[in-house]
Amino acid sequence: MNPFKYPQSLSQASLNRRSFLRTSVCISLTIASGNILASSDVSIEQLSKTKLISILNVNSSITIGQVILEDPKHRHEFSSPLPSVMNKLDISSDSLSSITRKELSTRLKQQTIRDFDMGHIVNVSGWVLGHTEAKLCVLAAQSSTFPINRD
Amino acid sequence: MIIDAKTLSPSETIETDLLIIGAGPAGITIAQKFAGTSIRVILLESGSESYNYTAQDLTRGTITGIPAEPLDASRLRLFGGTSNHWAGWCRPLEKEDFEVREDWPESGWPITLNDLNPYYKTATEICQLHSHIFDDIKYWQSEPGGQNLKKIKLNDRRLLTNIFQISPPTRFGEAYHQKLKQASNIRVIFNATALELLLSPNSSINSSIKTISGAKASTLDKTEFTVNARVTVTAVGGVETSRLLLLSKKVCPQGAGNENDLVGRYFMDHPWLRSISYLRFHKPGTNWPLYFDKTKIANTRIFATLSPAPELKKTNHIGGFRLWLQPSRVSSVGVDSARTIINDLKQGQLPDNLDEHIANLYADAGTLADVAYKSLFMVRNSPFGQKTDPKSPYLGSFIDLNIEQQPNPNSRLTLDTPLDSFGQRRIKLDWQLNNTDWHTATTALNTVAQEFGRINVGRVRVPLEGDKPNWPPLITSSNHHMGGARMATDPKRGTVNAHCRVHSVSNLYIAGSAVFPTCGYANPTLTIVALSLKLADHLQEVLS
């Protein structure tokens, strides 16, 4: 028997195709705008989540976060991302208000580089992302009912 | 001198010292080393100086298992052999490719890189390369045209930058034609297909070590003749070597050198995943000339690939690999195919090679999604409707992957049922990859994604996932036929010894990549030439 399966066995095809295309568009969009951590133009002081999310390209991040949450492989690991993200970025609820968005963005960028260095990466519909940036995307998806600004 | 076998008398017997079967890179390299010596050399070539369909048809065979390039397209039967369509990529094997690895079955050559190094140096001259230096970036920077070459700063415990030189490429038949023609001790015989090796009348088929008398050969119009030689070298490539040995049942009922059922086994190629990944740059315009361009230094072009550091291989129990980058502006294979399909549909027709275009779309889905988005929302002139500006900045890079295949006894060449025009059984290739090969491929792609993320140049799409092999439909071979008559000290583990002599035949040698016990990630030709030079040195001792 020929062990080669053609072509429906391609793992990419076994992924949710719609999610794959959606993620590809969003990765392209967020990366094209600088990187996945690119700042949006929003300037808001709201809840901790909202402040963290504000350093992302929001629409794209929500979509990537939704794709992660829809994937049974990742759903559990990424279900409660806020404590982990705050820990990774070395911030507390108290200190968050005094940290600028630029500083947050810098910390996230440094943490993402550390994530890649340590192999803390996740494959989201084919795209390889750092854990912390992926968790932030999940945070954005979970918070998407909040009245946050969209760029 | 060069003659045509048609000029020989029927049933003629030619006496010589050294018979070389096959005038490709290996056979020509050995023959030219004997030019002007007192050793009489016969070099048999199945084809002639130009392409001949009847000769080429002898290479046809069946492929099962992983789809490889067709056997009659990947090899050439004419003077110079497969070098006549060689792309010219050259690089020696790595030091560790020769060493025993506890986690790599059947690893370890009976020779070391040091044994081969002097021959590699001469091989670079034979392959008309600029230098025997490969990875010293300062050397290339100091050469005219090399000033802008810089390495990407990657973690050198994971990925290394390894430099390839591209031969002009050397067409061995053309390059060494005069030298062979002018050598009075060498006779190159065209239209001479070796049919089988012959046992010496003084030897017994039951002996543990046999002697052969030479080979029976034939012209394409079936005029047979015999060459008697003190020593015979088969230099017929990584597929035909196994076939000729298996066809030679007068030497051994299972085929010459096949007492231990090893001939044809451990066939290897470099599985090739074309444009398997895509690196999307954070900043358009990222440019890495050493990796993107084939920079011309004197008469040689060079470029770099990314390969695993020894530590990465050891930690992950994987083989070697090489990743090379193909920068993309906006256009890509997928975009080009989409454009072709759209244009043809507008004219009420379908493109000729629709399946290929659809495969391109499939492989390139990520970029297409990107382009489609831009077409709809952001860019006035969609890339589907316009040609790419050759000066526009690179937006990303496709990533091609070649991996080192693990030696596998079930990946093998056998004789098939269909017969060729001589009534001889054709070859059948059952190319098999295993779980380790899959693990090598996925680790390679995840590592490059990790490294490009770490240096924050962009993000990489890796479409291979999972622990079980699930090869994408676009996988193919690299036309690097290796193994089938592997080299090992122990006759139970290999067909030839460290001198490339068939263990069970005292005067039969094998030149070429069929003897590779492991294959590394580098293209095989430079190593084939180096090994052939080493063999020629040995044969000079034997014959004198």
Instruction: Give the pair of three-digit tokens for residue B211.
Output: 């002697």
CB–CB of B465 and A123 under 8 A? Answer: yes
- Candidates A9, A36, A109; nearest CB to B459: A36
**pLDDT of A64:** 85
**Contact between residue B530 and residue B119 where contact means Cβ atoms under 8 Å apart:** yes
Nearest CA of chain A to the CA of B335: how many Å? Answer: 15
Return the SS3 of B281: strand
* CA atoms in the 13 A half-sphere facing the CB of B443: 23
User: Which residues touch B141 (CB under 8 Å, ≥6 apart)?
Assistant: B147, B149
What ipTM was predicted for this assembly? Answer: 0.80
Instruction: Give the pair of three-digit tokens for residue A147.
Output: 């009245």
Nearest CA of chain A to the CA of B367: how many Å? Answer: 8
**pLDDT of A22:** 57
Residues of A in contact with B280 (CB under 8 A): 27-28, 31-32
**Contact between residue B296 and residue B287 where contact means Cβ atoms under 8 Å apart:** no
**pLDDT of A100:** 87
**Contact between residue B415 and residue B428 where contact means Cβ atoms under 8 Å apart:** yes
Q: What is the DSSP letter of B393?
A: P
**pLDDT of B382:** 43
Q: Residues in chain B with pLDDT < 50?
A: 331, 375-387
Bigger pLDDT: A28 or B220?
B220
CB–CB of A25 and B458 under 8 A? Answer: no
Does position A150 have pLDDT exceeding 50, yes or no? no
**pLDDT of A21:** 53
Nearest CA of chain A to the CA of B471: how many Å? Answer: 7
CB–CB of B64 and A2 under 8 A? Answer: yes
pLDDT digits (tens, 9 = 90+) for B286-333: 999 999 988 999 889 999 999 999 999 999 999 999 999 998 875 455
User: Which residues touch B249 (CB under 8 Å, ≥6 apart)?
Assistant: B196, B255
**pLDDT of A75:** 81
- Count CB pairs under 8 A between chains A and B: 113
Q: Which of B263, B303, B50, B326 is nearest to B171 (CA)?
A: B50
Nearest CA of chain B to the CA of A18: how many Å? Answer: 11
pLDDT digits (tens, 9 = 90+) for B204-261: 999 999 999 999 999 999 999 999 999 999 999 999 999 999 999 999 999 999 999 9
Question: Cα–Cα–Cα angle for B261, B60, B235, nearest 5°?
Answer: 60
**pLDDT of B63:** 97
**pLDDT of B368:** 61
Q: Which residues lie across from B327 on neighbouring strands?
A: B397
d(CA B89, CA B111): 23
Instruction: Give the pair of three-digit tokens for residue B168.
Output: 């002009």
**pLDDT of A6:** 30
pLDDT digits (tens, 9 = 90+) for A38-96: 334 333 334 567 777 777 777 778 888 888 998 888 888 888 888 888 899 998 877 87
- Predicted model pTM: 0.86
pLDDT digits (tens, 9 = 90+) for A105-124: 899 999 999 999 999 999 98
Where residue A98 falls among pLDDT bands split at 50, 70, 90? confident
- The H-or-E segment that residue A136 falls in is helix A131-142
Ramachandran quadrant class, B543 (left: phi over 0; alpha: psi -120 to 50; beta: rest):
alpha
**pLDDT of B12:** 95
The residue of chain A nearest to residue B375, with distances taken between CA atoms, is: A25
**pLDDT of A148:** 41
d(CA B436, CA B320): 11
**pLDDT of A2:** 37
CB–CB of B459 and A25 under 8 A? Answer: no
Instruction: Give the pair of three-digit tokens for residue A63.
Output: 């979509």
Residue with tokens 């085929």: B255
User: In chain B, how many H helices and how many E strands?
Assistant: 15, 20
Residues of B in contact with A109 (CB under 8 A): 456
